[in-house]
Amino acid sequence: MRKWKISILSLLLLLIYSLTCFAAPSIDRVSYIIRGDFNEVESLQLKLEDRIDNINSLGLLLLYDGQSFKVEGDWQIEFLKRSSYKMNLAFILPLDLSEMKLGRGLGISGESFYSSINRFSWKVSYFFDRVDPWAYEVSMLHPLHEDTALLVGIGNNYWNRDNKLFFGFRVGI
């Protein structure tokens, strides 16, 4: 069973690498997030996003929880865009590197303006391979500069269903 998982992971990485070679990838946005509560840091996250065209984007989330690394890849399709908000559909593939367990999920997310310059962001995900399948995030983005924003919110993720505060920075490149 372990050899099967390693071969699937190798094939997936080879496919991603070959597709990105032809697509001329570029990192368009980077988010650095610290997740936890007021007493301790639970995890550190780094999310890289590549906007392929006006509709499609790819994301890679690297998470370190103090014990192991976890990776989550997503493909987002922007299906609704207006001047004051936008909504995306996401196909999500989380991977726990210590257990070599690949999950699968669907998500929907959105972003809208809150007050004059702030943005409100939300995400709801459903994972098919979990007993507790729902995960969510709600956050507010406050611009610090042209392409840089402070990110503050609450939510959970695929690996930990506890509601945790998070803050960080999002930088457009």
Total domains in the fold of the chain: 1
Residue 34 is assigned to a structural domain of this protein: yes
Residue 94 is assigned to a structural domain of this protein: yes
Residue 58 is assigned to a structural domain of this protein: yes
Output the pLDDT for position 18: 57
Output the pLDDT for position 2: 63
Q: What angle do CA 82, 83, 88 make, to 5 degrees?
A: 40
Range of lowest pLDDT (1-10, 20-29, 72-81): 1-10
Residue 99 is assigned to a structural domain of this protein: yes
Is 114 within 8 Å of 120 (Cβ atoms)? Answer: yes
Output the pLDDT for position 14: 60
By residue range, what is the domain housing residue 106? 27-172
Question: Per-residue pLDDT averaged across 43-67, rounded?
Answer: 92
Residues in the chain: 173
Q: What is the pTM of this model?
A: 0.81
Is 136 within 8 Å of 123 (Cβ atoms)? Answer: yes
* Separation of alpha carbons 30 and 49, rounded Å: 6
Query: Which CATH number characterizes residue 80's domain?
Result: 2.40.160.40
Split at pLDDT 50, 70, 90, the class of 144 is: very high
Residue 160 is assigned to a structural domain of this protein: yes
Question: Per-residue pLDDT averaged across 123-130, rounded?
Answer: 95
Residue 40 is assigned to a structural domain of this protein: yes
- Statement: residue 168 has pLDDT above 80: yes
- Give the distance, in angstroms, between the CA of residue 105 and the centroid of all CA atoms in the same chain: 12
Range of lowest pLDDT (5-14, 133-142, 160-169): 5-14
